[in-house]
Amino acid sequence: MSYIQRINTCNNARLKGYVPFIISGLQVGWLKPHFIEQLAEWSNIFHHDEKSVQLNDNIKGFNERSEMVDKLIHVLVQKQIIKAYLNEPYPVTVGDRSEAIMTLDRSAVSYFGIRSFGQHLNGYVLKSNDIHLWIAHRAKDRYIAPGKLDNMVAGGLPWYTTLKENLIKECAEEAGMNKALVSQAQATGTVSYIAESVNGIKPDTLYCYDIELPEDFVPVCTDGEVESFELIPVNEVMETVRNSEDFKPNCNLVIIDFLIRHGLLDPDQAGYAELARKLHQ
Protein backbone atom coordinates (compact mmCIF):
# COMPACT_ATOMS: atom_id res chain seq x y z
CA MET A 1 0.00 0.00 0.00
CA SER A 2 1.13 3.61 -0.59
CA TYR A 3 0.01 7.22 -0.70
CA ILE A 4 0.08 7.15 -4.50
CA GLN A 5 -2.42 4.29 -4.49
CA ARG A 6 -4.80 6.43 -2.46
CA ILE A 7 -4.58 9.17 -5.08
CA ASN A 8 -4.99 6.69 -7.93
CA THR A 9 -8.17 5.38 -6.30
CA CYS A 10 -9.73 8.81 -6.85
CA ASN A 11 -8.07 9.41 -10.23
CA ASN A 12 -9.57 6.27 -11.75
CA ALA A 13 -11.43 7.79 -14.70
CA ARG A 14 -11.05 6.22 -18.13
CA LEU A 15 -12.55 8.53 -20.74
CA LYS A 16 -12.62 6.00 -23.57
CA GLY A 17 -16.22 5.50 -24.66
CA TYR A 18 -17.48 8.75 -23.15
CA VAL A 19 -18.89 11.52 -25.33
CA PRO A 20 -18.05 15.22 -24.80
CA PHE A 21 -20.87 17.45 -23.53
CA ILE A 22 -20.72 20.89 -25.17
CA ILE A 23 -22.38 24.18 -24.22
CA SER A 24 -21.84 27.24 -26.40
CA GLY A 25 -18.73 25.71 -27.93
CA LEU A 26 -17.19 24.77 -24.56
CA GLN A 27 -16.70 21.21 -23.39
CA VAL A 28 -18.09 21.14 -19.86
CA GLY A 29 -18.50 17.41 -19.28
CA TRP A 30 -18.62 13.80 -20.45
CA LEU A 31 -21.59 11.50 -20.98
CA LYS A 32 -22.01 7.74 -21.07
CA PRO A 33 -23.62 6.41 -24.26
CA HIS A 34 -26.33 4.74 -22.15
CA PHE A 35 -27.26 8.06 -20.56
CA ILE A 36 -27.30 9.75 -23.97
CA GLU A 37 -30.01 7.29 -24.98
CA GLN A 38 -32.12 8.57 -22.08
CA LEU A 39 -31.84 12.11 -23.48
CA ALA A 40 -32.85 11.22 -27.04
CA GLU A 41 -36.48 12.33 -26.75
CA TRP A 42 -35.49 15.85 -25.65
CA SER A 43 -34.30 17.10 -29.02
CA ASN A 44 -35.60 20.55 -28.06
CA ILE A 45 -32.81 20.70 -25.46
CA PHE A 46 -29.98 18.56 -26.85
CA HIS A 47 -28.44 17.90 -30.23
CA HIS A 48 -26.12 14.94 -30.53
CA ASP A 49 -24.06 13.28 -33.20
CA GLU A 50 -21.35 10.62 -33.09
CA LYS A 51 -18.77 13.10 -31.75
CA SER A 52 -20.58 15.08 -29.04
CA VAL A 53 -23.78 16.04 -27.24
CA GLN A 54 -24.57 19.75 -27.38
CA LEU A 55 -27.01 21.94 -25.53
CA ASN A 56 -29.04 23.53 -28.30
CA ASP A 57 -27.75 26.97 -29.23
CA ASN A 58 -31.25 28.47 -29.12
CA ILE A 59 -31.17 28.00 -25.33
CA LYS A 60 -29.22 31.10 -24.38
CA GLY A 61 -28.04 32.67 -21.17
CA PHE A 62 -27.34 31.45 -17.66
CA ASN A 63 -30.93 31.44 -16.40
CA GLU A 64 -32.59 29.86 -19.44
CA ARG A 65 -30.02 27.06 -19.63
CA SER A 66 -30.35 26.37 -15.91
CA GLU A 67 -34.16 26.35 -15.94
CA MET A 68 -34.52 24.18 -19.05
CA VAL A 69 -32.10 21.51 -17.87
CA ASP A 70 -33.51 21.61 -14.33
CA LYS A 71 -36.97 20.74 -15.65
CA LEU A 72 -35.41 17.79 -17.46
CA ILE A 73 -33.68 16.60 -14.28
CA HIS A 74 -37.05 16.51 -12.50
CA VAL A 75 -38.41 14.29 -15.28
CA LEU A 76 -35.38 11.98 -15.12
CA VAL A 77 -35.90 11.64 -11.36
CA GLN A 78 -39.58 10.80 -11.89
CA LYS A 79 -38.51 8.13 -14.38
CA GLN A 80 -35.97 6.84 -11.81
CA ILE A 81 -33.10 7.39 -14.23
CA ILE A 82 -31.59 9.75 -11.65
CA LYS A 83 -32.13 8.63 -8.05
CA ALA A 84 -33.30 11.80 -6.32
CA TYR A 85 -33.48 15.56 -6.77
CA LEU A 86 -31.22 17.23 -4.17
CA ASN A 87 -32.12 20.89 -4.75
CA GLU A 88 -28.45 21.88 -4.64
CA PRO A 89 -27.49 23.79 -7.80
CA TYR A 90 -23.84 23.36 -8.75
CA PRO A 91 -21.98 25.64 -11.18
CA VAL A 92 -21.30 24.36 -14.68
CA THR A 93 -17.94 25.79 -15.69
CA VAL A 94 -14.71 25.01 -17.49
CA GLY A 95 -12.80 27.29 -15.12
CA ASP A 96 -13.51 28.89 -11.78
CA ARG A 97 -16.91 28.86 -10.07
CA SER A 98 -17.27 32.55 -10.94
CA GLU A 99 -17.17 31.64 -14.65
CA ALA A 100 -20.26 29.38 -14.53
CA ILE A 101 -22.46 29.37 -17.63
CA MET A 102 -25.41 27.62 -15.94
CA THR A 103 -26.23 25.49 -12.89
CA LEU A 104 -27.06 21.80 -12.59
CA ASP A 105 -28.56 19.99 -9.60
CA ARG A 106 -25.97 18.06 -7.61
CA SER A 107 -27.89 14.83 -8.24
CA ALA A 108 -27.10 15.02 -11.96
CA VAL A 109 -23.49 16.21 -11.90
CA SER A 110 -21.85 12.81 -12.40
CA TYR A 111 -24.34 11.83 -15.13
CA PHE A 112 -23.22 14.84 -17.18
CA GLY A 113 -19.56 14.56 -16.15
CA ILE A 114 -19.56 18.09 -14.73
CA ARG A 115 -16.85 19.24 -12.31
CA SER A 116 -18.14 19.66 -8.77
CA PHE A 117 -16.67 21.64 -5.89
CA GLY A 118 -16.30 21.04 -2.17
CA GLN A 119 -14.57 22.32 0.97
CA HIS A 120 -12.50 20.26 3.44
CA LEU A 121 -11.08 21.54 6.73
CA ASN A 122 -8.15 19.97 8.58
CA GLY A 123 -8.51 20.70 12.29
CA TYR A 124 -5.31 20.09 14.22
CA VAL A 125 -3.90 20.54 17.71
CA LEU A 126 -0.25 20.97 18.72
CA LYS A 127 0.69 18.91 21.78
CA SER A 128 4.34 19.34 22.79
CA ASN A 129 4.93 20.51 19.19
CA ASP A 130 3.48 17.24 17.82
CA ILE A 131 0.54 17.53 15.42
CA HIS A 132 -2.70 15.74 16.26
CA LEU A 133 -5.59 15.74 13.77
CA TRP A 134 -9.27 15.76 14.60
CA ILE A 135 -10.76 12.90 12.56
CA ALA A 136 -14.48 12.38 12.06
CA HIS A 137 -16.18 8.98 12.09
CA ARG A 138 -19.01 9.20 9.55
CA ALA A 139 -22.44 8.01 10.66
CA LYS A 140 -23.27 4.47 9.59
CA ASP A 141 -26.53 5.59 7.95
CA ARG A 142 -24.80 7.86 5.42
CA TYR A 143 -25.61 7.15 1.78
CA ILE A 144 -21.98 7.82 0.80
CA ALA A 145 -19.10 6.12 2.65
CA PRO A 146 -21.05 5.04 5.76
CA GLY A 147 -18.84 4.52 8.80
CA LYS A 148 -15.68 5.73 7.05
CA LEU A 149 -13.18 8.18 8.52
CA ASP A 150 -13.39 11.77 7.32
CA ASN A 151 -11.74 15.16 7.63
CA MET A 152 -13.00 17.20 10.59
CA VAL A 153 -15.32 19.22 8.32
CA ALA A 154 -16.15 18.44 4.70
CA GLY A 155 -19.03 19.28 2.41
CA GLY A 156 -20.19 20.22 -1.04
CA LEU A 157 -20.09 23.78 -2.36
CA PRO A 158 -23.36 24.84 -4.05
CA TRP A 159 -23.66 27.71 -6.48
CA TYR A 160 -25.77 30.06 -4.37
CA THR A 161 -23.22 30.70 -1.60
CA THR A 162 -19.72 32.07 -1.22
CA LEU A 163 -16.83 29.94 0.01
CA LYS A 164 -16.72 31.91 3.26
CA GLU A 165 -20.45 31.56 3.91
CA ASN A 166 -20.47 27.86 3.09
CA LEU A 167 -17.46 27.12 5.29
CA ILE A 168 -19.13 28.86 8.24
CA LYS A 169 -22.32 26.83 7.66
CA GLU A 170 -20.53 23.49 7.30
CA CYS A 171 -18.32 24.08 10.35
CA ALA A 172 -21.35 24.95 12.48
CA GLU A 173 -23.33 21.91 11.33
CA GLU A 174 -20.57 19.33 11.32
CA ALA A 175 -18.33 20.42 14.19
CA GLY A 176 -20.28 22.94 16.30
CA MET A 177 -17.78 25.72 15.53
CA ASN A 178 -18.81 29.34 15.96
CA LYS A 179 -18.19 32.04 13.36
CA ALA A 180 -15.32 33.62 15.29
CA LEU A 181 -13.44 30.33 15.46
CA VAL A 182 -14.06 29.52 11.78
CA SER A 183 -12.61 32.92 10.84
CA GLN A 184 -9.21 31.60 11.99
CA ALA A 185 -9.19 28.89 9.30
CA GLN A 186 -6.53 29.39 6.63
CA ALA A 187 -7.23 28.66 2.98
CA THR A 188 -4.36 26.51 1.71
CA GLY A 189 -5.24 25.82 -1.93
CA THR A 190 -7.05 23.01 -3.71
CA VAL A 191 -6.75 19.36 -4.59
CA SER A 192 -8.50 17.95 -7.63
CA TYR A 193 -9.10 14.59 -9.24
CA ILE A 194 -11.18 12.87 -11.91
CA ALA A 195 -13.07 9.84 -10.67
CA GLU A 196 -15.38 7.41 -12.43
CA SER A 197 -18.57 6.21 -10.77
CA VAL A 198 -21.37 3.92 -11.85
CA ASN A 199 -23.20 7.02 -13.14
CA GLY A 200 -20.31 8.52 -15.09
CA ILE A 201 -17.27 10.77 -14.84
CA LYS A 202 -16.90 12.85 -11.68
CA PRO A 203 -14.24 15.58 -11.74
CA ASP A 204 -13.88 17.23 -8.33
CA THR A 205 -12.09 20.29 -6.97
CA LEU A 206 -11.77 20.53 -3.19
CA TYR A 207 -10.89 23.83 -1.51
CA CYS A 208 -8.65 22.95 1.46
CA TYR A 209 -8.31 24.73 4.79
CA ASP A 210 -6.26 24.31 7.97
CA ILE A 211 -7.13 25.51 11.45
CA GLU A 212 -4.99 25.15 14.56
CA LEU A 213 -7.34 24.51 17.48
CA PRO A 214 -6.89 24.96 21.23
CA GLU A 215 -6.39 21.79 23.25
CA ASP A 216 -9.70 22.26 25.07
CA PHE A 217 -11.78 22.42 21.87
CA VAL A 218 -13.86 19.32 21.11
CA PRO A 219 -15.91 19.23 17.88
CA VAL A 220 -19.60 18.32 18.14
CA CYS A 221 -21.70 17.33 15.12
CA THR A 222 -25.18 18.87 14.98
CA ASP A 223 -26.53 17.52 11.67
CA GLY A 224 -26.19 13.74 12.14
CA GLU A 225 -23.53 13.21 9.48
CA VAL A 226 -20.80 12.36 11.98
CA GLU A 227 -21.06 9.69 14.67
CA SER A 228 -18.02 10.81 16.68
CA PHE A 229 -14.68 12.62 16.55
CA GLU A 230 -11.25 11.41 17.60
CA LEU A 231 -8.03 13.38 18.12
CA ILE A 232 -5.27 11.24 16.59
CA PRO A 233 -1.47 11.76 16.41
CA VAL A 234 -0.50 12.63 12.86
CA ASN A 235 1.86 9.62 12.61
CA GLU A 236 -1.09 7.30 13.26
CA VAL A 237 -3.17 9.14 10.68
CA MET A 238 -0.34 8.73 8.16
CA GLU A 239 -0.22 5.00 8.86
CA THR A 240 -3.99 4.67 8.42
CA VAL A 241 -3.94 6.54 5.12
CA ARG A 242 -0.99 4.56 3.79
CA ASN A 243 -2.03 1.07 4.86
CA SER A 244 -5.83 0.96 4.96
CA GLU A 245 -9.00 2.02 3.18
CA ASP A 246 -10.57 3.37 6.37
CA PHE A 247 -10.92 6.94 5.10
CA LYS A 248 -13.52 8.17 2.63
CA PRO A 249 -11.36 8.12 -0.54
CA ASN A 250 -11.13 11.83 -1.32
CA CYS A 251 -10.24 12.64 2.30
CA ASN A 252 -6.97 10.78 1.77
CA LEU A 253 -5.98 13.38 -0.82
CA VAL A 254 -6.72 16.25 1.55
CA ILE A 255 -4.59 14.62 4.25
CA ILE A 256 -1.71 13.89 1.85
CA ASP A 257 -1.78 17.54 0.79
CA PHE A 258 -1.65 18.51 4.50
CA LEU A 259 1.35 16.22 5.06
CA ILE A 260 3.25 17.75 2.13
CA ARG A 261 2.53 21.34 3.18
CA HIS A 262 3.55 20.71 6.80
CA GLY A 263 6.82 19.05 5.79
CA LEU A 264 5.78 15.65 7.12
CA LEU A 265 6.76 13.79 3.94
CA ASP A 266 10.41 13.60 2.92
CA PRO A 267 10.98 15.18 -0.53
CA ASP A 268 13.83 12.70 -1.04
CA GLN A 269 11.29 9.89 -0.81
CA ALA A 270 10.76 8.09 -4.12
CA GLY A 271 7.65 9.33 -5.91
CA TYR A 272 7.35 12.60 -3.95
CA ALA A 273 7.07 14.79 -7.07
CA GLU A 274 4.51 12.44 -8.62
CA LEU A 275 2.51 12.54 -5.41
CA ALA A 276 2.38 16.35 -5.43
CA ARG A 277 1.54 16.49 -9.15
CA LYS A 278 -1.30 13.97 -8.97
CA LEU A 279 -3.10 15.99 -6.31
CA HIS A 280 -4.05 18.43 -9.09
CA GLN A 281 -5.86 16.81 -12.03
Identify any residues that bridge with 169 across adjacent strands, giving them in sequence order. none
* pLDDT for the residue 143: 77
* pLDDT for the residue 239: 97
DSSP letter string, 141-158: T-SSSTT-EE-SEEEE--
Evaluate if residue 1 carries a pLDDT over 60.
Answer: no
Please report which confidence band the pLDDT of residue 50 belongs to, taking 50, 70 and 90 as the band edges. confident
Domain 116-278, what fold? Nucleoside Triphosphate Pyrophosphohydrolase (3.90.79)
Q: Given strand 53-55, what is the order of strands in its sheet?
A: 26-31, 19-23, 53-55, 46-48
> Coil, strand or helix: which one is 92?
strand
Whole-number mean pLDDT of the chain?
95
Evaluate if residue 39 carries a pLDDT over 60.
Answer: yes
**What are the structural domain ranges in the chain?**
19-112, 116-278
- CB–CB of 7/191 below 8 Å? no
CATH, range 19-112: 3.30.750.160
Does this model's pTM top 0.85? My answer is yes
